[in-house]
Structure 1
């Protein structure tokens, strides 16, 4: 079992000690009020708080994978969690890589297989 990640939740913000990414809760009146926007996803992605938390946890998993080899169990867990967001792990890693200075400096971790979703 993996140790808890240092993701911090507040009423309007989810942040991390490991990655530069954040999630913000939408407070303007309208249909998306109370939904969340994650910094590395396209702005049309409007998520629940649980999904936003999953995004930050996955971002941490990807970044930590650069520092040490990812075991099969962690990789499968990351794939499953990414499907909760209707994304493949590969798609999520590409979205992170386009924003992350750390991922641009290093190579992204190998996912060893093609994505099951587009």
Structure 2
């Protein structure tokens, strides 16, 4: 599996995002921070793992078509985070090096100025 959980870090072979556990003493100790979410958002380990898995699903979908079953599965899983799939996609798009480098698949049709 491309998502690689460890005691304090969850990383991926596919996306440039990570999740890490807060280990400093305080109310947030043991909670998780995910790189593409706002820094004040603290999650459980299960939620952080879900974030990373969904990030992979969304970014892999840029390279190949996603069938409706996969899309519905992603919509169900993202509810564990209190987000919509669209919100998650926007958060990922804002940070994606794939999109910034211009290597994402181009939409068909002509939207170029004449």
Helix, strand or coil at the partner of 1:24 = strand
The two structures, once aligned, show a CA RMSD in angstroms of 1.6
Q: 1:12 aligns with which of 8, 13, 37?
A: 8
Q: 2:32 aligns with which of 36, 45, 54?
A: 36
**CA distance 1:7–1:44, shift in 2 (3 Å):** same
Correspondence for 2:77:
81
Scaled by the length of structure 1, the TM-score of the pair is 0.84
In the alignment, structure 2 segments of 5+ residues that lack a partner are 108-114
Cα deviation digits, residues 55-75 of structure 1 (max 9, x gap): 000000011101110000000
Asked which structure has the greater CA Rg, the reply is: 2
In the alignment, structure 1 segments of 5+ residues that lack a partner are 110-118
1:1-118 matched pairs, under 5 angstroms: 5-104=1-100, 105=102, 106=104
CA contact (8 A) 1:97 1:108 kept: no
CA offset at residue 103 of structure 1?
3.1
Cα deviation digits, residues 60-118 of structure 1 (max 9, x gap): 00111011100000000001111110000000000001111113432699xxxxxxxxx
Scaled by the length of structure 2, the TM-score of the pair is 0.87
Cα deviation digits, residues 32-77 of structure 1 (max 9, x gap): 0000000000011100000000000000001110111000000000
Matched residues, number = 105
Superposed structure 1 runs of 4+ greater than 2 Å apart: 103-109
CA contact (8 A) 1:14 1:23 kept: yes
